[in-house]
Amino acid sequence: MFPTKRSSDSQGSSASPPAASSRALEWLWQSLRDVKRPQILDCGPPHQSTFDVLLKRGSKLYSADLITLARESDLKFVRRLGKKTEFLTDAFLENLPPIPTGCLSVVACWQLLDLLPREALPGLVSKLWSYLRTGGALFFLLREPSLANGAGTRWWLESLLALRSDVESKLPFPHPAITNREIERLVPSGNVKTFLTRLARREILAIK
Protein backbone atom coordinates (compact mmCIF):
# COMPACT_ATOMS: atom_id res chain seq x y z
CA MET A 1 0.00 0.00 0.00
CA PHE A 2 1.31 3.44 -0.87
CA PRO A 3 2.17 5.24 2.38
CA THR A 4 -0.19 8.05 3.27
CA LYS A 5 0.17 10.95 5.65
CA ARG A 6 -2.89 11.26 7.79
CA SER A 7 -3.04 14.95 8.40
CA SER A 8 -5.53 16.38 10.84
CA ASP A 9 -8.37 18.59 9.67
CA SER A 10 -6.78 22.03 9.90
CA GLN A 11 -10.05 23.92 9.72
CA GLY A 12 -12.12 21.71 11.96
CA SER A 13 -15.45 20.11 11.16
CA SER A 14 -17.33 22.84 13.05
CA ALA A 15 -16.46 25.30 10.26
CA SER A 16 -17.88 23.13 7.51
CA PRO A 17 -21.45 22.70 6.23
CA PRO A 18 -23.44 19.61 7.25
CA ALA A 19 -22.73 16.34 5.50
CA ALA A 20 -24.77 15.68 2.35
CA SER A 21 -26.04 12.26 1.31
CA SER A 22 -24.75 11.07 -2.07
CA ARG A 23 -26.79 9.07 -4.54
CA ALA A 24 -23.65 8.34 -6.53
CA LEU A 25 -21.92 6.80 -3.51
CA GLU A 26 -25.05 4.84 -2.66
CA TRP A 27 -25.04 3.35 -6.17
CA LEU A 28 -21.28 2.76 -6.08
CA TRP A 29 -21.14 0.88 -2.80
CA GLN A 30 -24.16 -1.19 -3.75
CA SER A 31 -22.32 -2.25 -6.90
CA LEU A 32 -19.25 -3.16 -4.80
CA ARG A 33 -21.16 -5.01 -2.08
CA ASP A 34 -19.45 -8.33 -2.94
CA VAL A 35 -15.92 -6.86 -3.07
CA LYS A 36 -14.49 -7.69 0.36
CA ARG A 37 -11.34 -5.57 0.15
CA PRO A 38 -11.68 -2.88 -2.50
CA GLN A 39 -8.53 -1.06 -3.55
CA ILE A 40 -9.06 2.70 -3.76
CA LEU A 41 -7.05 5.68 -4.94
CA ASP A 42 -7.85 9.02 -3.26
CA CYS A 43 -6.73 11.97 -5.44
CA GLY A 44 -7.70 14.64 -2.92
CA PRO A 45 -5.93 16.26 0.02
CA PRO A 46 -5.49 13.69 2.79
CA HIS A 47 -8.35 13.78 5.28
CA GLN A 48 -8.63 11.64 8.39
CA SER A 49 -12.36 11.04 8.00
CA THR A 50 -11.96 9.67 4.47
CA PHE A 51 -9.21 7.31 5.58
CA ASP A 52 -11.21 6.12 8.60
CA VAL A 53 -14.35 5.48 6.54
CA LEU A 54 -12.52 3.51 3.84
CA LEU A 55 -10.34 1.52 6.22
CA LYS A 56 -13.41 0.54 8.24
CA ARG A 57 -14.88 -0.80 4.96
CA GLY A 58 -11.76 -2.98 4.62
CA SER A 59 -10.23 -1.03 1.77
CA LYS A 60 -6.62 -0.94 0.67
CA LEU A 61 -5.75 2.71 0.11
CA TYR A 62 -3.50 4.62 -2.23
CA SER A 63 -3.18 8.38 -1.89
CA ALA A 64 -1.96 11.06 -4.31
CA ASP A 65 -2.98 14.66 -3.70
CA LEU A 66 -3.46 15.68 -7.32
CA ILE A 67 -6.00 18.31 -6.29
CA THR A 68 -3.43 20.51 -4.56
CA LEU A 69 -0.96 19.98 -7.40
CA ALA A 70 -3.60 21.03 -9.92
CA ARG A 71 -4.23 24.26 -8.02
CA GLU A 72 -0.51 25.00 -8.21
CA SER A 73 -0.16 23.90 -11.84
CA ASP A 74 0.83 27.35 -13.13
CA LEU A 75 3.99 27.11 -11.06
CA LYS A 76 4.94 23.49 -11.65
CA PHE A 77 3.30 22.01 -14.72
CA VAL A 78 2.81 24.80 -17.25
CA ARG A 79 5.40 25.60 -19.88
CA ARG A 80 5.10 29.03 -21.43
CA LEU A 81 6.00 29.33 -25.11
CA GLY A 82 5.63 32.97 -26.00
CA LYS A 83 1.92 33.76 -25.81
CA LYS A 84 1.00 30.08 -25.63
CA THR A 85 1.11 27.69 -22.72
CA GLU A 86 1.49 23.92 -22.61
CA PHE A 87 0.34 21.76 -19.71
CA LEU A 88 2.92 19.09 -18.85
CA THR A 89 0.51 16.18 -18.39
CA ASP A 90 3.19 13.48 -18.19
CA ALA A 91 5.05 15.38 -15.46
CA PHE A 92 1.78 15.85 -13.55
CA LEU A 93 0.97 12.13 -13.72
CA GLU A 94 4.40 11.23 -12.35
CA ASN A 95 2.99 12.16 -8.94
CA LEU A 96 0.80 9.07 -8.92
CA PRO A 97 2.06 6.19 -6.75
CA PRO A 98 2.97 2.81 -8.26
CA ILE A 99 -0.36 1.03 -8.81
CA PRO A 100 -0.83 -2.30 -10.62
CA THR A 101 -2.92 -2.16 -13.76
CA GLY A 102 -6.53 -3.27 -13.36
CA CYS A 103 -6.62 -3.49 -9.57
CA LEU A 104 -8.65 -0.51 -8.32
CA SER A 105 -12.34 -0.56 -7.53
CA VAL A 106 -12.62 3.22 -7.11
CA VAL A 107 -10.64 6.33 -7.97
CA ALA A 108 -11.94 9.31 -5.97
CA CYS A 109 -11.11 12.23 -8.27
CA TRP A 110 -13.27 14.80 -6.48
CA GLN A 111 -13.23 18.07 -8.50
CA LEU A 112 -9.90 17.36 -10.20
CA LEU A 113 -11.24 17.73 -13.74
CA ASP A 114 -12.56 21.22 -12.99
CA LEU A 115 -9.05 22.34 -12.02
CA LEU A 116 -7.14 21.20 -15.10
CA PRO A 117 -7.04 22.52 -18.68
CA ARG A 118 -8.92 20.57 -21.35
CA GLU A 119 -5.67 19.41 -22.96
CA ALA A 120 -4.73 17.48 -19.79
CA LEU A 121 -7.98 15.57 -19.39
CA PRO A 122 -7.61 12.76 -22.00
CA GLY A 123 -4.22 11.71 -20.65
CA LEU A 124 -5.40 11.92 -17.04
CA VAL A 125 -8.57 9.91 -17.57
CA SER A 126 -6.71 7.32 -19.66
CA LYS A 127 -4.11 6.82 -16.92
CA LEU A 128 -6.66 6.52 -14.11
CA TRP A 129 -8.83 4.26 -16.26
CA SER A 130 -5.92 1.83 -16.68
CA TYR A 131 -5.88 1.28 -12.91
CA LEU A 132 -9.54 0.19 -12.73
CA ARG A 133 -10.69 -3.38 -12.55
CA THR A 134 -13.76 -4.40 -14.53
CA GLY A 135 -16.74 -2.95 -12.69
CA GLY A 136 -14.60 -0.26 -11.05
CA ALA A 137 -15.41 3.43 -11.31
CA LEU A 138 -13.97 6.93 -11.40
CA PHE A 139 -15.86 9.24 -9.05
CA PHE A 140 -15.95 12.94 -9.94
CA LEU A 141 -17.58 16.10 -8.68
CA LEU A 142 -18.21 18.51 -11.56
CA ARG A 143 -19.44 22.05 -11.10
CA GLU A 144 -22.40 23.49 -12.92
CA PRO A 145 -21.72 26.54 -15.14
CA SER A 146 -23.56 28.73 -12.60
CA LEU A 147 -20.89 28.01 -9.96
CA ALA A 148 -18.04 30.43 -10.63
CA ASN A 149 -16.11 30.03 -7.35
CA GLY A 150 -15.14 27.04 -5.26
CA ALA A 151 -11.87 25.81 -6.75
CA GLY A 152 -10.29 25.75 -3.29
CA THR A 153 -13.06 23.81 -1.56
CA ARG A 154 -11.89 20.55 0.01
CA TRP A 155 -14.15 17.49 0.01
CA TRP A 156 -14.04 14.29 2.03
CA LEU A 157 -16.10 11.27 3.04
CA GLU A 158 -18.18 11.68 6.17
CA SER A 159 -19.45 8.12 5.72
CA LEU A 160 -19.64 5.64 2.87
CA LEU A 161 -22.82 7.36 1.71
CA ALA A 162 -22.21 11.00 2.62
CA LEU A 163 -19.89 13.82 1.55
CA ARG A 164 -18.72 16.85 3.44
CA SER A 165 -16.73 19.94 2.50
CA ASP A 166 -15.11 23.06 3.85
CA VAL A 167 -17.01 26.32 3.66
CA GLU A 168 -17.25 27.12 -0.05
CA SER A 169 -14.01 28.62 -1.31
CA LYS A 170 -14.02 32.01 -3.03
CA LEU A 171 -11.23 30.90 -5.38
CA PRO A 172 -12.56 31.05 -8.96
CA PHE A 173 -12.47 28.01 -11.19
CA PRO A 174 -9.73 28.43 -13.80
CA HIS A 175 -11.54 26.79 -16.73
CA PRO A 176 -15.06 26.60 -18.21
CA ALA A 177 -17.43 24.01 -16.74
CA ILE A 178 -17.21 20.55 -18.29
CA THR A 179 -20.32 19.32 -20.07
CA ASN A 180 -21.85 15.85 -19.74
CA ARG A 181 -21.09 15.26 -23.43
CA GLU A 182 -17.41 15.99 -22.84
CA ILE A 183 -17.28 13.48 -19.99
CA GLU A 184 -18.89 10.79 -22.14
CA ARG A 185 -16.26 11.37 -24.81
CA LEU A 186 -13.42 11.17 -22.30
CA VAL A 187 -14.53 7.85 -20.79
CA PRO A 188 -13.40 4.87 -22.91
CA SER A 189 -16.48 2.77 -22.12
CA GLY A 190 -18.93 5.67 -22.49
CA ASN A 191 -20.68 4.25 -19.42
CA VAL A 192 -21.32 7.36 -17.33
CA LYS A 193 -23.89 7.90 -14.60
CA THR A 194 -24.74 11.48 -13.63
CA PHE A 195 -26.44 12.42 -10.36
CA LEU A 196 -27.66 15.98 -9.86
CA THR A 197 -27.31 17.64 -6.45
CA ARG A 198 -28.49 20.83 -4.77
CA LEU A 199 -24.91 22.06 -4.44
CA ALA A 200 -24.49 23.32 -8.04
CA ARG A 201 -22.41 20.23 -8.70
CA ARG A 202 -22.93 16.95 -10.50
CA GLU A 203 -21.76 13.63 -9.07
CA ILE A 204 -20.28 11.53 -11.87
CA LEU A 205 -19.48 7.81 -11.98
CA ALA A 206 -17.52 6.57 -14.99
CA ILE A 207 -17.81 2.79 -14.92
CA LYS A 208 -15.42 0.29 -16.51
The answer on pLDDT for 179 being more than 90 is yes
Torsion of CA 162, 171, 97, 122, to 10 degrees: 100
The region of weakest confidence among 12-16, 164-168, 184-188 is 12-16
Q: Is residue 172 part of a domain?
A: yes
pLDDT band, very low/low/confident/very high, at 28 (cuts 50, 70, 90): very high
Q: Is residue 1 part of a domain?
A: no
Q: Would you say 65 and 44 are in contact if contact means Cβ atoms under 8 Å apart? A: yes
H/E segment holding residue 31: helix 23-31
Q: Is residue 146 part of a domain?
A: yes
3-state secondary structure of 137: strand
The answer on pLDDT for 120 being more than 80 is yes
H/E segment holding residue 152: none
Domain with 154, as residue range(s), is 16-207
Q: Is residue 69 part of a domain?
A: yes
| Residue 114, pLDDT score | 98
Q: Is residue 94 part of a domain?
A: yes
Q: Please give the mean pLDDT across all residues of the chain.
A: 92
pLDDT band, very low/low/confident/very high, at 80 (cuts 50, 70, 90): confident
The reported pTM is: 0.90
Number of domains in the chain: 1
pLDDT band, very low/low/confident/very high, at 15 (cuts 50, 70, 90): low
The answer on pLDDT for 8 being more than 70 is no
